Chain A
């Protein structure tokens, strides 16, 4: 059972401080949506508003066509997995999972049946009689998910559920969550500040920043066509390189940008009239779109300051003659060392242009406002 979620013009204030402003968002039934953003951007607050743990100061939230923001948390048909798991310490795993069903007066046998079924799915059947204190972090996390599953909610809400796990367990649990979503087909909202979790789990990512939604899109849209400079900088590891534009001229073939010591690049970028072709413009380019030219080749001169040999690829953190930093990618077998002079080549078709107001423009479709 899954249902669509409609968030309309939602606003949240704490006293005079506005933490969410006029947020609107549609989530289709069965969709896995990730709220991604830095700490303090309001993503957890928005999730807690869907759960009913925070009141709205404006707007409405519908679940499956029914308005839920006026209902108490338990009546909304959602289940939440907390960052700290929030398991009841004095109850066994089975009691933890069955507590919500007991509260709605479900028959004991039906509760046992649902708990056993969920425990089988999560492979925690052997833990049902244990108390949370006797469980590892990963097991607690599964119990917390199990507690959500048994309620057969219309939507699952996850509030940074992987952040308390170690790196190896986090990777495995991420995979299991993806499998769980495929199996249950439920609507899921997942809050994280970890872009890897967002990129790997999401059908769509909602990037949030500074009280607002910056962009909603599939992981590849977010990565390849960031709507703003913030999104471009927040998503991607290592981060996108940003270079200042000295001068720009829009010609029939596209925009020509003067990047100072990085040279003059002819791009196929087309700009809407509203964007001035000079003043405060920047370009962004991802490391994989900046290549190290083999010795003797032609390219932009730079000095490799740090070289990271990662096995399958080599990352080169270089500095241009005018002091700007740029990250490039070289072959995994590269023997390049820090301190050497290199030549770099930028792929002009992979450039992102950022206007002074932060809006981004990309090569093949012009402006993109998210």
Chain B
């Protein structure tokens, strides 16, 4: 009986096998292989040569990489707080069910289902000089035109605006779900406790959804560090690389310059940055909430 029990325990593991195989094939193996590639000078057409950490040294010394890293950090530092704050604002504004709020929820989430191609097409039409929507508005107001997609500074800003518009649906929905988990009687108790709207927001609502705020922030940090499609399709990283993000740098090194080993090294660095950023956020947030 004991033997059959042991055997049945072992067989139970088979249920997890499809996932484990997929996980190993598409996540663990590429991760290890990527690291292995990063230690080699390799292109797509022949066997590579082991160069140790040479690729990492070259990547870190490359001014283009440093500029892309800076662009990405600025992008993440501006879009993530915007997405969290705006998502929370929308969720708070739409956290009651009427026909209007149901329609607006759908409307704000609708952008999330579009492909990056459509999103960038829409925002190019908005930002494009002379005939773009903003250009027409500026013309109407008699203001000087701004080359949103072709001016240093403005190009990354424009990519950021398109990104926030595209990605706002998920944070809003996550915040809405969290807000609806707060028991109504907490708000009733607060009303009897004479709490004004600001006190209710800061002392009841925000503490109650802090875990969701952390979740949204981590998801967005991970997502926005991987910026690529919007930048490539709206500005192609320009002008002068001022809107080139890290993933675009990796793409150019790997698939245009065919330096796959160096691209893999840059990928590993990006992976470490994202991992550190997420971990720091998690540790800081959970330390602040200790004992809750």
Contacts and interface: CB of A to CB of B under 8 A. Distances in A.
Contact of B194 (A53, A88, A103): A103
B97 interface: no
B191 A72 contact: yes
A88 B192 contact: no
Contacts of A100: 192-195
A73 B191 contact: yes
A230 interface: no
A79 B208 contact: no
Contacts of B199: 103
Contacts of A72: 191
Contact of A82 (B188, B208, B210): B188
Q: Is the interface of B mostly helix, strand, loop or mixed?
A: helix
Interface in A242-298: none
Interface string B257-292: 000000000000000000000000000000000011
A79 B192 contact: yes
B203 interface: yes
B291 A99 contact: no
B139 to A, nearest CB: 50
Nearest to A74: B194
Nearest to B187: A86
Interface in B175-199: 183, 185-186, 188-196, 199
A107 interface: no
A104 B196 CA distance: 10
Interface residues of B, number: 20
B204 interface: yes
A90 to B, nearest CB: 4
B207 interface: yes
A78 B183 CA distance: 21
Contacts of B204: 88
Given A82-B185, A86-B183, A99 B208 contact: no
A75 interface: yes
Given A90-B208, A90-B292, A131-B292, A99 B193 contact: yes
A86 B189 contact: yes
B291 A51 contact: no
Contacts of B292: 89-90, 131
Contacts of B188: 51, 53, 73, 80, 82, 86
A53 B186 CA distance: 12
A82 B183 CA distance: 12
Interface string A77-96: 01110101011111100000
B207 A51 contact: no
A226 interface: no
A52 interface: yes
B206 to A, nearest CB: 9
Interface in A52-88: 52-53, 72-75, 78-80, 82, 84, 86-88
Nearest to A51: B192
B251 to A, nearest CB: 44
B194 A104 contact: yes
10 contacts: A53-B192, A74-B192, A74-B193, A74-B195, A78-B192, A80-B192, A82-B185, A90-B208, A99-B203, A100-B194
Top 7 nearest A-B pairs (CB, nearest first) are A74-B194, A100-B193, A86-B185, A90-B207, A86-B189, A103-B194, A73-B191
Interface of B: 183, 185-186, 188-196, 199, 203-204, 207-208, 210, 291-292
Given A51-B192, A86-B186, 9 more contacts: A80-B188, A80-B189, A82-B188, A88-B189, A88-B203, A89-B208, A99-B195, A100-B192, A104-B194
